Each structure stands twice: as C-alpha cells, then as structure tokens.
C-alpha cells in the first residue's frame, strides 16, 4: 500500500489514518494491543519545501510528551561514536560500520560522484554479526538506505523492519532528510522524494486517541 504527500504533517496523519482504518489488530510479544499494516510505503514528495520537522513540532506543542530534540536526533544519525545510553546508534553504523568503514563518505558519495546513474548506492544499518541473536530484543529499526540520482535530484528509500508511526516516524523522517540533505549537498544536487518502506507500520492502542486528534486537526 502506498501513501504520498508533499507535506510532512499531512503525510504522517494520512499514514496513521490508514493504519487506524485498515490495520489488523493484534497483541504483540509484550502484551501491547496494536493495529498494523504490513508493507506500507510512505513517500514524502519534495521534502525540501514541506517542513519535514512539522510532525515533531506537533507532538511538542501538545505538551503531553517529552520528545527528543532535533539536535539529539541529528546526533543519533550522524555521530559515529556509540552513545552509552543506546544499544546502538545509526551514526555508528553509517560512519563507522564494524568500527572500520565509513559507508557514506568512503562509498556512497564517491560512487555517486563517479556514476550518477548508479543503482548500487546502498548503505546497511543491520549487522547480522551483532544483531542476529535470538536473545537480542533491541535491533535497528532502519535496515538499509538507498540513494539514487534521477532528473537532477537525490532520491532516498529507507527500509524499516518495524515502524511505530506515532512516535517513531516523525523522528525517522527528520533524520532521513538530514542524511539525504548531507549527501545531496556533497553532490551539488537538490533533494528529491523520500520513501519509507515499513515491513510493519503500526500504532499502539495507547496512542489511538492521540493519533485521531492529530488526524482531525490536519486532515479534516
């Protein structure tokens, strides 16, 4: 299923609305009631003009939750040193994979500078050596990110194994855009669409009412 919009807040609310109306309800392994849609593709069109941080702003303005700051979210995706308070950070996997490889500066950017039409510009977050353990309950949500240059714009596709649309998606789209902008600037290109493919796009029952409130404000 595909959901598209050029406005980040509308896109977020459209995706949550789809899950609430069409998702299947089940209880996860922690006993939480969820609604879920499998294989949901959510595309933010032309993110450079859409206020990509607007879902974060909406959550903060509600004053019901303490959401990570934009600075902290950027650090998680860019800082290569593993922060001790996290089981993993995306920056460590991107800029220092296996403590030896900068996937972005030593591969993605040079590859696209050499061949703008390449379909190989993919970085991987998931590490089977450290993540594929039955006892490991906290593994990266984002599995891989692919970059492509088409019609002069840098496009991005991210695959997420498990995506909490209410709290997780606003942070994810902001982080992904920050990463996309970094690569685009290095290539001298403008940013294009961001597609987030979620194997499991879900909402927890605790957030059904809050999601409906945001949907009502934005879409109705």
Q: How confident is the model at residue 66 (pLDDT cuts 50, 70, 90)?
A: confident
Question: Coil, strand or helix: which one is 172?
Answer: helix
86 has pLDDT over 60: no
How many degrees, rounded to 5, is the angle at CA 141 between CA 124 and CA 58?
125
Q: How confident is the model at residue 49 (pLDDT cuts 50, 70, 90)?
A: low
What are the structural domains, with CATH classification, of the chain?
Answer: 2-219 (3.30.572.10)
50 has pLDDT over 70: no
Q: How confident is the model at residue 42 (pLDDT cuts 50, 70, 90)?
A: very high
Question: How far out from the chain centre does Cα 169 lie?
Answer: 6
- The burial of 169, by beta-carbon neighbours within 10 Å (0-12 exposed, 13-18 middle, 19 or more buried), is given as buried
Residue 7: the pLDDT is 94
Helices (H), 23-167: 54-62, 70-78, 90-95, 109-114, 128-131
What average pLDDT does the structure give for the chain?
Answer: 93
Question: Coil, strand or helix: which one is 98?
Answer: coil
Paired strand residues for 147: 156
């Amino acid at each position: 299923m595909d959901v598209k919009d050029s406005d980040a807040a509308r896109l977020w609310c459209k995706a949550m609305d789809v899950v609430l109306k069409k998702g299947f309800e089940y209880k996860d392994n922690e006993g939480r009631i969820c609604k879920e849609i499998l294989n949901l593709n959510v595309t933010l069109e032309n993110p450079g003009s859409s206020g990509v941080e607007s879902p974060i702003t909406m959550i903060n303005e509600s004053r019901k939750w303490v959401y990570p700051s934009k600075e902290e979210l950027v650090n998680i995706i860019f800082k290569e040193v593993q922060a001790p308070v996290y089981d993993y950070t995306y920056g460590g996997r991107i800029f220092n994979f296996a403590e030896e490889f900068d996937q972005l500066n030593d591969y993605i950017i040079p590859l696209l500078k050499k061949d703008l039409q390449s379909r190989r510009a993919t970085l991987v977050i998931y590490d089977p050596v450290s993540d594929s353990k039955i006892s490991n309950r906290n593994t990266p949500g984002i599995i891989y990110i692919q970059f492509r240059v088409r019609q002069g714009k840098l496009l991005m596709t991210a695959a997420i194994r498990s995506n909490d649309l209410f709290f997780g998606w606003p942070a994810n789209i902001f982080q992904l855009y920050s990463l996309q902008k970094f690569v685009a600037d290095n290539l001298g290109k403008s940013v294009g669409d961001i597609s987030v493919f979620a194997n499991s796009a879900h909402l927890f029952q605790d957030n059904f009412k809050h999601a409906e409130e945001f949907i009502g404000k934005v879409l109705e």
